[in-house]
Amino acid sequence: MMKRVGFTKFILAVALIVGGIFILLANLDVISLEMWQVFSYSYPFILLAIGIKFILDSLFGKGDRWPLGLITTVFAAFLVMDRFGWMTFTAGDIWLLWPLLLVLIGVRIFTSKGTKPKVEIRFDDEHDSEDFKRKKSAIGDYSFTNSDWSVEPMNLWNAVGDYKFDFTKAFIPEKDTPFKLSGVVGDVKILMPENVAFRIEASVKTGDIRILDQKADGLNRVMHYQTPDYGTATRKVTFYVDFKVGNIRLDRV
């Protein structure tokens, strides 16, 4: 059985596979392509795979990114047909797809369950003086799911990576412990126990944010939430999450 991979690993894997195939064929003189030509030929297939995944995730209840998936899939499909010579379509022709916006607006009207007040996120300097455990890397995953793992301030940055935190299995000290998670592409999953106060300030350029029963998806999304007892609690966790592309989810048990 194929192992399920995270969103970020999926994108990276597809990019490596498609790029590797073209480079291999060029090395074997099956095709003659320069590196820029490899990218030009391969990126529509990568976009098509990403768009289809967004749609499938929405169909199976794993997100609500089908509008972005639909636009990406249609755009990529036309580019792929251009690569096979079935039609003429370039990246500059994306403006021709503007009627899709009308379709999406219409569907949203039918499926909308009401909107919640928008909230703005502001990353404050309250924890700038903390002794963070700083770590910066290009590609990698962080998983804190072992029993009795020790909670301490962290500042993690990844170009591409997944983050998993299970605070129900952690030793949480009697103080405010800050976490700063940021990067380019990321998939963040946080599980908090009911008896621990927390605050989260989350921001993504493209993707979705899900905090308990609140949800925001699309472009330039921000969300700020804190538990009612956050201000008076001595044991609490504060999250600052900021990604260009990604999914941020926090649940409580």
40-92 residue pLDDT tens: 677 788 788 888 887 777 776 666 667 777 888 888 888 888 888 888 888 77
Tens-place pLDDT, residues 100-122: 777 777 766 555 544 443 434 44
Percent share of the chain, pLDDT over 90 = 21
Number of H helices, E strands in the chain: 4, 9
If we measure between CA atoms, which residue out of 200, 195, 161, 158 comes closest to residue 179?
200
Q: Which amino acid is at 69?
A: G
Q: Are residues 18 and 94 in the same domain?
A: yes
Q: Could you give the CA distance from residue 101 to residue 246 in angstroms, rounded to a whole number?
A: 22
Q: Considering the domain boundaries, does residue 19 fall inside one? A: yes
Q: Which amino acid is at 91?
A: A
Q: Considering the domain boundaries, does residue 94 fall inside one? A: yes
Q: Are residues 77 and 176 in the same domain?
A: no
Rounded average pLDDT over 16-23:
70
What 3-state DSSP class applies to 80? helix
Check whether 125 has a pLDDT greater than 60.
no
Q: Could you give the CA distance from residue 17 to residue 20 in angstroms, rounded to a whole number?
A: 5
The per-residue pLDDT of the chain, averaged, comes to 76
Q: Are residues 141 and 107 in the same domain?
A: no
Q: Are residues 80 and 147 in the same domain?
A: no
Q: Which domain holds residue 178?
A: 133-252
Q: Are residues 224 and 186 in the same domain?
A: yes
Check whether 139 has a pLDDT greater than 90.
no
Q: Are residues 157 and 74 in the same domain?
A: no
Q: Are residues 140 and 243 in the same domain?
A: yes
Q: What is the pLDDT of residue 249?
A: 92
Q: Considering the domain boundaries, does residue 117 fall inside one? A: no
Q: Considering the domain boundaries, does residue 72 fall inside one? A: yes
Q: Which helix (H) or strand (E) holds 109?
A: helix 99-111
Pairing of strands 197-211, 236-252: parallel
Pairing of strands 214-226, 197-211: antiparallel
Q: Are residues 86 and 147 in the same domain?
A: no
Percent share of the chain, pLDDT over 70 = 68
Q: How many domains does the chain have?
A: 2
Q: Considering the domain boundaries, does residue 90 fall inside one? A: yes
The alpha carbon dihedral of 45, 51, 52, 53 has a sign of: positive
Q: Are residues 14 and 74 in the same domain?
A: yes
Lowest mean pLDDT among 96-100, 146-150, 247-251: 96-100
13: confidence class by pLDDT, cuts 50, 70, 90: low
Q: Are residues 237 and 139 in the same domain?
A: yes
